[in-house]
Amino acid sequence: MLNLEYAKTVTGWMNPAEMEWLASQAKVRLLIAEIGSWMGRTTCALADNTSGTVYAVDTWKGSEEHQQLLAEKGEDWLYLEFLKNVGARAESGNVVVTRKPSLEAAAEFAARGLKLDMIFIDAAHDYDNVKADILAWRPLLAIGGLFCGHDFDAGRVGVVKAVKELVSEYPARPAGSIWVANV
């Protein structure tokens, strides 16, 4: 049985079918990295369905596309909303908050020799950033792990281009705009 009741109450763009698919994958994973966490909707869906740890990696400053939305908010508003939403999950260690740029976090994880059995990329959506995230995080995937991301659709040209170029010509599409590497 999937636990998505709370996650569905958190503001975000992940639709129910996508959250169900991610939650079902989290059930069989112990070390999960979520690259781009926004307000924690997907973080909670992952954390509430794994007995392991979700590393939530974000600056909580928003990418270029979110600057207008965040313009009138305080500097730490997004981060504080995320912390409020993940609450006890972070306090218990079920969610490990990693507040830094994606590439910096990937380098630190690599230096520690950390291998993850699920990596979900949903940070900036422009080609250069998606490409950099794929290149930085894919080497951190454990053998048999799941490498996936969000926003593989016509409106996200940069995501589609980077994924097709670096993941495979035809990445699997298990739910909505989620892409999965054929590894």
Judge whether 4 lies within some domain: no
Q: pLDDT value at position 183?
A: 53
Q: pLDDT value at position 73?
A: 81
CATH (domain of 54): 3.40.50.150
Judge whether 108 lies within some domain: yes
Q: pLDDT value at position 65?
A: 66
Judge whether 2 lies within some domain: no
Q: What is the pTM for the complete model shown? A: 0.94
Residue 58's domain comprises 16-180
**Integer CA distances (angstroms), 84 to 39, 77, 91, in order:** 9, 11, 11
Judge whether 1 lies within some domain: no
Domain count, the chain: 1
Judge whether 8 lies within some domain: no
Q: Is 14 exposed, middle or buried (0-12, 13-18, 19+ CB in 10 A)?
A: buried
Q: List the chain pLDDT tens, one digit each, 183 residues.
A: 999 999 999 999 899 999 999 999 999 999 999 999 999 999 999 999 999 999 999 999 876 766 566 667 878 989 999 999 999 999 999 999 999 999 999 999 999 999 999 999 999 999 999 999 999 999 999 999 999 999 999 788 999 999 999 997 678 899 999 999 965
**Structural Rg of the chain based on CA atoms:** 15
Q: pLDDT value at position 72?
A: 78
Q: pLDDT value at position 113?
A: 97
Rounded distance between C-alpha atoms, residue 26 and residue 146, angstroms: 10
What is the distance of C-alpha 18 from the center of its chain? 12
